[in-house]
């Protein structure tokens, strides 16, 4: 369980809080979609969950510890348990699919092994297994810069999977993709979510996608939670509340 307690974030020189008094319990097995207009606080929220953004006050409790009270090495280990995919992929364009996916292991290994690029036979086999899991095995030796947007996001998913995460986070991972590709990526995420029994939390701009795939929708407006329920209850009236 991921527990968010009285979370506030205010950026320097900002007049208003980016997040205000968020209190949430997120359970293993939930597929949660976060909705809201641009500037509602979605990215700030998702970045708080793995410590990329420090709050002004409040706590994110994981494994019975407030992650913002962890030392740097402990925080690094915690982040390994939280796979993260981004809108702009965060891949290394000139490296191959295989090489990019292998970087998903960096958080679990000693820095000198990472620098030297030393991987065991088991690590290499696991990387290939994850590449196959996202249907990119035939492209494993291609440079990432030669791939389509949907293929790049699959590489990012495979890289995150290699961490063996318990939580899967996504910050608008399909925002730059066409609708058909976005649906296929969400289908892949859903199948991975079920296969590995994850807690999945994804920011998404598309209400239709959220209602199709989520088990729970949380909507933010001006940094506050204005809706938290099952997709069927995200009615036209709730839509107007969130987006108008």
CA distances from 8 to 17, 21, 22, 157, 205 (A): 7, 5, 7, 29, 23
Range of the domain at 102: 29-41+72-243
- Give the number of domains in the chain: 1
Of 29, 9, 28, nearest in space to 19 by CA: 9
* Neighbouring residues of 67: CB distance < 8 A, sequence distance ≥ 6: 50, 51, 60, 61, 75, 78
The pTM assigned to this predicted structure is 0.90
Condensed to tens digits (0 to 9), the pLDDT of residues 157-178 reads: 999 999 889 999 999 999 989 9
Residue 62 lies in a domain: no
Residue 52 lies in a domain: no
Q: What is the CATH number of the domain that holds 99?
A: 3.40.50.300
Residue 47 lies in a domain: no
Condensed to tens digits (0 to 9), the pLDDT of residues 93-127 reads: 999 999 999 988 766 656 656 566 667 888 889 99
Residue 148 lies in a domain: yes
Condensed to tens digits (0 to 9), the pLDDT of residues 23-32 reads: 999 999 999 9
Residue 3 lies in a domain: no
């Amino acid at each position: 369980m991921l527990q968010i307690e009285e979370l506030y974030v205010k950026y320097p020189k900002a007049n208003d809080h980016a997040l205000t008094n968020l209190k949430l319990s997120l359970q293993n097995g939930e597929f949660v979609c976060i909705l809201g207009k641009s500037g509602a606080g979605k990215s700030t929220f998702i970045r708080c969950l793995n410590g990329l953004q420090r709050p002004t006050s409040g706590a994110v409790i994981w494994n019975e510890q407030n992650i913002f009270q962890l030392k740097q090495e402990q925080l690094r280990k915690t982040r390994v348990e939280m796979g993260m995919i981004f809108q702009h992929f965060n891949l290394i364009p000139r490296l191959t699919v295989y090489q990019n996916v292998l970087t998903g292991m960096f958080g679990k290994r000693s820095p000198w092994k990472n620098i030297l690029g030393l991987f065991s036979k088991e690590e290499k086999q696991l990387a290939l297994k994850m590449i196959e899991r996202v249907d990119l095995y035939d492209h494993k030796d291609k440079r990432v810069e030669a791939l389509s947007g949907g293929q790049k996001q699959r590489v990012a998913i495979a890289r995150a999977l290699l961490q063996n995460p318990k939580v899967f986070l996504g910050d608008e991972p399909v925002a730059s993709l066409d609708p058909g590709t976005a649906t296929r990526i969400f289908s892949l995420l859903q199948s991975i979510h079920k296969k590995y029994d994850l807690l999945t939390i994804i920011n998404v701009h598309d209400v239709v996608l959220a209602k199709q795939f989520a088990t729970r929708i949380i909507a933010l407006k001006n940094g506050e939670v204005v809706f938290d329920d099952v997709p069927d209850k995200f009615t036209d009236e709730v839509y107007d509340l969130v987006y108008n």
